[in-house]
Every structure is written in C-alpha cells, then in structure tokens.
Structure 1
C-alpha cells in the first residue's frame, strides 16, 4: 500500500494577482522520486515553488505527511518547527549574501580583488548553514564536499565561482540541511559534461540516504534513481507514470520554426559607415592570478572581424575570466598585452567605449538587474550597456526593443517584471538586450541554459541567420556540441587556464 509523504488535492495556487494552478492534484509516495517534464512556462518551477510553500493555496489543500511522521518520531516539544525546515530547494538563481550580510553583489565584483573580499569563501558559506540537531545528520560537511567535488573550491570566494561551480555549492548546501524532500529546479544547467555524467550517481546517493527528490529537467536527462515522471503543459499535469512507462521520444513535437529574415535584416540595420577593424581581439600571453591561484596562463588569441568562435572547457577552466578581459569587466586587462577593436587596453579608451561595441549575455547576468525593471526596460537598457534602465524610456528605442521581443517570440512578457517570467524567457530577454544596438562583437556565454528544445533550435536558427546576413563577430560558450550553431567555424579550448588542443 502506498504511503504518501506529500499530497496536493484540488488546489488553486496563486502568486500576486496571478492564478498559477487550478484543481491541481499531485501525490508523492514514500520511496518515489519524480522528474517534472514540460516546455518552458509549462509550470515545472511553479510546482516546485508551490511545494516549497512560496505561493498561496486559495482552494483545496496541500498536506505534508512527512512532517506529521517526523513529529511523531521526534516526540517532545517541536512547536517551533514547520514543514518548511524539512524541504530544501535549489533554484536556477542563487541567493548568496556578502560578509556585510547584504545581497548587493554587482556583476564585475568577482574580478575586482579588493571588492570580492567581501564575499564568503565556499568553506565559510558551508559552515554558516544552520543545521538543526534533531534532524537526520547523514549529510555532513565531509560527505557533501566529497559528493560535489568541492575540496578544490573551499578557499575560493563564492562570487568567483563559475556558474557550474555555483550549482554544485547550492546542491551541497541544500543537502547539509538533511531535508525530507529535495527540490531541484533544472539542476543540470551550467554543469559541464563530466559533472553531468556523474549526476546520475549523485542523485542515486542522495535518494539512497532517504531523501525524496523532485526535479524539473529535460526528458532526455532523467537520472536512473528517478522512479516517476510527471508531464506538465499549460500549468496542468497532463500525464504521470512510472519512469519505465515514459518514452522521451514521444515528448518531441515537430514544430516549424519560422524566421523572418527580412525583419532581422531591418533590425540589424547594417551601417556601411561602421568602422572596419583589423583585429576584434588580440591578446598575447594573457596571465591572470588571484592570490596564489593562476586563472589564465599565457593565453594567446586573435579574433578577426567576421569570425565565429566557440569557447569551450570544463567548469572552472577560466572561460568567464577570459571573457571578462574582452568585455571590459576585468581591471587586470591593463596589466596584460591586450588589443580590443585595434586599441591597446590602457591607451585612453574607457570601459564604455569597449562595451558599446559588444553585445553580451550570460546565464547569471539576470541576477544583477533591478527588480522593478520590466522586460522591455531591460532590453532597452542594452543601448546604454547598463544593468537596468536608469533614464526615461525613449519611444523609438522601446519600439525597437519590442520588435526584437516579437522576433524572439517573447512579446507577451513586454510589461512583466524580468524577475517574474520563466528563466528561459529571461535568457531570451538578455539575448534581445545584447542584439539591440547591432554590436560588432556578440559574446554568448552558455545562452541555451534553461531553454526547451524548441527554444534552443529557434535560438540556433536565429544566430545562424544573423551570421548569414551580417558580418558580426561571435564568441559562443557552451558545454555541449549540439548547442553550437552551424555558423561557428573556429574553436578555442581552455583547461585549467591554458589553451589546449
């Protein structure tokens, strides 16, 4: 007989003025581990947030049976406890705080040695997690450090972690709380190929310790320890079954991907008077060191206008630091022999001169925008290279921003706050922000993170079309070969700060 640990019955779920679910029914039984499958915006993240207690239940009910069992087993006075203490959630966005106990990190902080000292180290962060003594203490510091391979990172400030390293730390911190239920929202995004390969064994060890796992993931990345699959569509669970009965191939739908080349050409508005450069990037023996740790070790790279490069390498290889030298975010660029757009760094050009020629997007960039900016405002801010629109909107610029939103199929979010839309739509807003000023160089750092299969294909088609009808230069960072657009013809591969073949 099934023993439920959590059940949702005929629930209406609301957040602010939005109804997220109506008549929602979902049950997790003891020994079950679930994968949530669905396209972007289908409700996967919203279901995880509902279980975590972040949204209001205005009809029906949600029962945390595991908490009742815990209270019966624990005995004594446990009135200070709530079921929330027995649930851990790992979200796409981190919520790190600095030593001043605020969360006001800024994007370039990781590259400024004095400012980054205001961030905890990985070891300090793990030590700061409150572990209630009456919970199961299976997961301790030693176990999570070993499971997530954090030992090489213990003395590193959390602000300096790569995207994949941050994800591993977030999973470790969630485990230290020894929850009854672990909620994972797209946990594989940002992880390199090796860590993704190990993820199946990581989940197996977590579930073997007695924790029930519920994860939002791709239909093609379901770990072996997952027992059941729920498919969501339009914020409804349309199918639930044991994993053995789920066929990932049946989830794929043939969708035509219409690309309006004429509109893209008009938006790109190729200006024949644009300056022609000999080199977009030219760096000789670039060397970056923080304390005793060498991040980049004698990197040589030349990028000619119109070239399209893939920048590859595992988590922590130095890719983000290399990009920061090009994008004007790293002050150590002045101590290196680096030429950008035919001008040597340190010969009078400003950071804003450099940024005006570059369209940049990265998976963590959305964390640094003001929480009161709409998607349209975020995209318009691309004209000014600011993380947010800090001046009155101009109608002609806002109109172009909206045209880019239509080209990326996200116009319905124009007036919605960036923080309130799906992570995949946030990525596409940042893409539009990068494209809006028709830059000479596009830098896309893991741009397909969080995109569903259709959105990934649409994005690749978009990049290929842009490269076909313009002479834009491209640097494209990814962990996966299948995500690289056909227009990319050159590769620079990093490992431990060095260029490798």
Structure 2
C-alpha cells in the first residue's frame, strides 16, 4: 500500500482579493505523478504555490506526511527543519539576481554587453542551489547539467539565455535540490520539439530516482510519467482521474470560436495609418557575436510589405536576437546591413521611430513588464512604446484600449492592476498593447504561451481576421505547428544562428 505524501484538506485560498478555492480536497500518495489541468484562471498555478508554501491558506490545512520520515532521520539535528526544504518549485517566471544580489533587471539588458555582465553565469546560478541532505544526491551538478543540455551554456550569463534555455535552467535548479516533491508550472511551455521529447524521457528518470511530481499543464500535454489527472473548475477539483480514464479530447472546449469581424474592422479603422512601405525588413549577411559566441551568422532575410512569416527554430537558435535587431532593442543593428521600413539603420532614425511602426510581444517582455498599472493603462501605453503609462490617459485611447480588451475577451479586467489578474489575461493584455496602434508590423514571439485551448484558438482567429482585413505584416514565432495562423504562408528557419531550409 502506498503511503500518503501530501493531503490538501478542505483548504480555502484567497488570491488577489478573490476567494479562489473553498473547501478544496486533494490527496497525493507515493507512486503517483499528478497533472493538474483546467481552463486558464482556474487556479492551477495558485494550487501549486499553496502546496509549495508560497501562498497561505485561509481555511483548512495542507498536511505534509513525508515530513514524518524526514524527522525520523533527525537530519543534522535541525529543529527548524520544515517542508519547504523538500519541495522544489519551477514556476513560469525566473527570479535571477545580479552580482549585487538585486533583481534590478530591465528588458533590453541582455543585448547590452556591459550591463549583462553584472549577472551570474549558468554555472554560478546552479552552484548556488542548496542541496538537500536527506539522502545521497542522485541529481549531481554534472548529471543535471547533462540531462538538461546545459553544458555548452555554463559560462553564459543567465540574462542572455533564450526563453527555452531559461526554462531548462529553472528545471535544472529545481532538480539539483534533490527534493521529495517536485512542482512544475507548465514545464513544457517555451521548449522546442526535440527538447519536449527529451524532457518526456527525463521526467521518467526523475520519477525513478524517487522524486514525486505534480505539474500544472495543458490537457493536450500530458507527459508519459503522469499517472493521475485532476481537473480544476470553479474553485474545486471537478474530476479526479487515472491516466487511463483521462482522454484529452473529452476535455477540450469543443466550442466554436466566434470573432466579431465588424468590431475588428472598426478598431483597425479607428487607429488607421497609411502603411505604404515597400520593404519592411531587409537584412544582408547579418553577423552577431558576443565574446567568442557567434549568435547569428550571415543571415539574409527580406520581408516585403504585407507578407506573413513564421520564424522557427530550436531554443537558442538566435530567433530572439534576430527580432531584437528589427525591434530596435539591439545596438549591434548599427554594425550590420539592415533596412527597416525602407530606411537603412543608422541614417538618422531613432529607436522610437522604429518602435512606432511595430507591435511587439514576447516571453521576455512578459517577464520584465511592470505590473503596477491598470490593464487599460498597460494597453494604452502601446501608443507610446513605453513599459507602462507615464502620462495622463487620453479618453479616446482608453476607450480604444477597452474595445481591444473586448475583442480579446478580457474586458472584465479593465480596471484591475495587471499584477492582480491571471497570467493568461496578463499575456492577452500585452497582445492588446501590441495591436492598439494598428502598426505596420506585428511581431508575435510565442504569443500563446500560458493560454488555454479556447484562448489560443480565439487569438489565432483574431490574428487571421486582422490579416484578412488589413495589409499588416506579420512575424510569428512558435514551437507548436498548430498555433501558426492560417494567414502565414512564408517561413524562415534558424538553427545555430544560421538560416536553414
């Protein structure tokens, strides 16, 4: 008989001034690996945070049965030993520190060599992880680095990592702790196809090493290691199933996605500008190097006005760096032969001139975007390309922001602070911010991260509708083929900094 590890006993959790859970029950026993799934905003991440002890419960209790065995071992005679030491959590956002032990990062820092040097390397970050002493560590530094394919990145500053590389580093740090319980918040998000396949294998080894796993994930991404599935809905676990009982297709939204085309036409006409460019992007033999590392090697790319491109490639291929040259965030653009909006870089245009023509969103922007503005203010800031609204709101623009929120089905959060809404709604706010000024070029870098199935399908339909009724140019980055809008008909594929067919 397998013994219980954790019992969630009739807990109530208040999160962001909302009573998210009331009287929720959940039991986790040895030999089980759980997937917690449900719609965006259902509380998957909050439940993991509560189990990790990062969020308090205001009713009921969480019982950590595994601590009985820990105390029997009398580890180091530590009277203050708590369950926190034996639970590792790999969340959606990183919490890297500078060499001065602060978190004072800014969005463009990774592209500015002098500033990015003030961060730990991958090796230093992993060596700072405190390893538990309840048993001989199975996951050593060398084993973990090899398992997460981080060997070649050990001397790279953490701030310079791609989104997928950062995800692998966070997983490695959690694993190095050699916990009893390992909590993952959407661990496959941001990982390329091959890494997802290898991670599936890695999860089996993690489980075999004696670590039990609980993960929040999509119904369509259940790794083989999962033995049980809990479905969250309306503040409670609506279904508790074994892997064999669960069928992902039965839990998709199944609803028809409806987009109000007339409303979108009005939104686009309201903020219309005359886009008469011939070439949106022209790159010739672009070469980017940091130290001894070549990031982009002789990249050629021509994007004509009105074209819709997918930019594809594995983690670390150079996609984010390539986009930073277009979006005005990378100073190395001046050392290369790059034409943007029919004008060569370095011939008098400012970064703000470039940004005014682009609507942009990325995982890195989400990571660093300040969250103390209201959602309406965040979206209105898209007119000024600032990370937040630093001037008085203009009513006509605030009204337009609200209408974009309605178009993306998030208008109920209009007056809320960005930090007080679900992560999926935060991401949709940043997408509305990219759309609000009707730019000549839209750059969507993994825009569907953290969105549930309905939100993904709805956003994809909105993008296709915008492309059908306007002459906008689009660059779309994703690791999932099904996320690519139907309007995309051109592909640039990168691998190791080079264009591949």
Residues 70 and 134 of structure 2 are in contact (CA less than 8 Å); yes or no, is this contact kept in structure 1? no
Q: TM-score, normalised by structure 1?
A: 0.97
Q: Write the distance in 1 (CA, Å) between the matches of 2:313 and 2:150.
A: 18
Q: Write the distance in 2 (CA, Å) between the matches of 1:400 and 1:135.
A: 58
1:125 aligns with 2:125: yes
Aligned to 2:244, what secondary structure does the other structure show? helix
1:25 aligns with 2:25: yes
Q: Write the distance in 2 (CA, Å) between the matches of 1:339 and 1:267.
A: 29
Residues 163 and 190 of structure 1 are in contact (CA less than 8 Å); yes or no, is this contact kept in structure 2? yes
Deviation at 1:321, TM superposition (A): 0.3
- Trace 1:263-412 onto structure 2 (pairs within 5 A): 263-269=263-269, 274-412=274-412
Aligned to 2:172, what secondary structure does the other structure show? helix
Aligned to 1:152, what secondary structure does the other structure show? helix
CA distance 1:271–1:406, change in 2 (3 Å): closer
1:204-261, Cα deviation, whole Å (9 max, x unpaired): 0111111110001122211111111101112210011211111112112321222111
- Trace 1:176-255 onto structure 2 (pairs within 5 A): 176-255=176-255
Q: Write the distance in 2 (CA, Å) between the matches of 1:438 and 1:253.
A: 30
Q: Write the distance in 2 (CA, Å) between the matches of 1:76 and 1:293.
A: 44
Aligned to 1:78: 78
Residues 145 and 151 of structure 2 are in contact (CA less than 8 Å); yes or no, is this contact kept in structure 1? yes
1:492 aligns with 2:467: no
Residues 132 and 178 of structure 2 are in contact (CA less than 8 Å); yes or no, is this contact kept in structure 1? no
Deviation at 1:20, TM superposition (A): 1.6
| Equivalenced residues, count | 501
CA distance 1:442–1:273, change in 2 (3 Å): closer
Aligned to 2:475: 475
Residues 21 and 236 of structure 1 are in contact (CA less than 8 Å); yes or no, is this contact kept in structure 2? yes
Aligned to 1:463: 463
Q: Write the distance in 2 (CA, Å) between the matches of 1:48 and 1:467.
A: 38
Deviation at 1:364, TM superposition (A): 2.5
Q: Write the distance in 2 (CA, Å) between the matches of 1:105 and 1:469.
A: 39
Residues 13 and 58 of structure 2 are in contact (CA less than 8 Å); yes or no, is this contact kept in structure 1? yes
CA distance 1:75–1:471, change in 2 (3 Å): closer
Aligned to 2:419, what secondary structure does the other structure show? helix
Q: Write the distance in 1 (CA, Å) between the matches of 2:13 and 2:276.
A: 55
Q: Write the distance in 2 (CA, Å) between the matches of 1:225 and 1:453.
A: 22
Residues 356 and 385 of structure 2 are in contact (CA less than 8 Å); yes or no, is this contact kept in structure 1? yes
Tell me whether 285-294 or 138-147 shows the greater mean CA deviation.
138-147
Aligned to 1:306, what secondary structure does the other structure show? coil
1:16-39, Cα deviation, whole Å (9 max, x unpaired): 532121011001001111001111
Q: Write the distance in 1 (CA, Å) between the matches of 2:134 and 2:55.
A: 27
Residues 285 and 298 of structure 2 are in contact (CA less than 8 Å); yes or no, is this contact kept in structure 1? yes
Deviation at 1:294, TM superposition (A): 0.4
Deviation at 1:272, TM superposition (A): 7.4
Residues 253 and 453 of structure 2 are in contact (CA less than 8 Å); yes or no, is this contact kept in structure 1? no
1:443 aligns with 2:460: no
Residues 97 and 103 of structure 1 are in contact (CA less than 8 Å); yes or no, is this contact kept in structure 2? yes
Deviation at 1:419, TM superposition (A): 2.4
Q: Write the distance in 1 (CA, Å) between the matches of 2:415 and 2:83.
A: 36
Q: Write the distance in 1 (CA, Å) between the matches of 2:491 and 2:17.
A: 47
Aligned to 2:160: 160
RMSD over equivalenced CA pairs, Å: 1.4
Q: TM-score, normalised by structure 2?
A: 0.97
CA distance 1:32–1:114, change in 2 (3 Å): same
Residues 361 and 447 of structure 2 are in contact (CA less than 8 Å); yes or no, is this contact kept in structure 1? yes
Residues 41 and 234 of structure 1 are in contact (CA less than 8 Å); yes or no, is this contact kept in structure 2? no
Q: Write the distance in 2 (CA, Å) between the matches of 1:275 and 1:253.
A: 38
Q: Write the distance in 2 (CA, Å) between the matches of 1:469 and 1:16.
A: 38
1:50-105, Cα deviation, whole Å (9 max, x unpaired): 10112222221111111122111235622122111111111111111111211111
CA distance 1:62–1:275, change in 2 (3 Å): closer
Deviation at 1:42, TM superposition (A): 1.4
Q: Write the distance in 2 (CA, Å) between the matches of 1:399 and 1:136.
A: 60
